[in-house]
Amino acid sequence: MSAANSVIANNRAQLKKEVWTDNTEGDKIKVLRAISDNEEGNAVARQIFENKMNDRLLNKDFAILYRTNAQSRSMEEALRKLNIPYRVYGGVSFFSA
């Protein structure tokens, strides 16, 4: 929670708030520097695939949060390449008709 609160605190226009959870502390946040949207999408999809295989996790154990709708294309393309099913919430899939 301290990571989330640190990010929120850096938003100058924020409404004062502090997020919390009753869950136990999770893994530390990992930072990925990618040269392109495609590189970022591929890295995220590979990590999901590896975690599913190594830790026997289910699709419902993952969520990808992105800042802009434009980022959905590279994420969706990378997930499709690895046959990882996905659902877009709160927006429109790049590949929807």
- Give the pLDDT score at 25: 84
Average pLDDT over the chain reads: 88
Does residue 73 fall inside a structural domain? yes
pLDDT reported for residue 95 = 77
Q: Which residue has the higher pLDDT, 37 or 21?
A: 37
Please indicate, yes or no, if residue 89 is contained in any of the structural domains: no
Residue 92 counted as domain residue:
no
Determine the pLDDT at residue 86. 94
**pLDDT interval class at 61 (50, 70, 90):** very high
CATH number of the domain to which 45 belongs: 3.40.50.300
What domain range includes position 29? 2-81
Question: Which distant-in-sequence residues (6+ apart) come within 8 Å of 45 by Cβ?
Answer: 75, 78, 79, 81, 82, 84
Q: What is the mean pLDDT of residues 13-26?
A: 82
**Helix, strand, coil in percent for the chain, rounding step 5:** 45, 0, 55
Residue 2 has pLDDT above 90, yes or no: no
How far from each other are the two terminal CA atoms of the chain, in whole angstroms? 38
Domains: count for the chain: 1
Q: Is residue 96 part of a domain?
A: no
User: Is the per-residue pLDDT at 37 higher than 60?
Assistant: yes
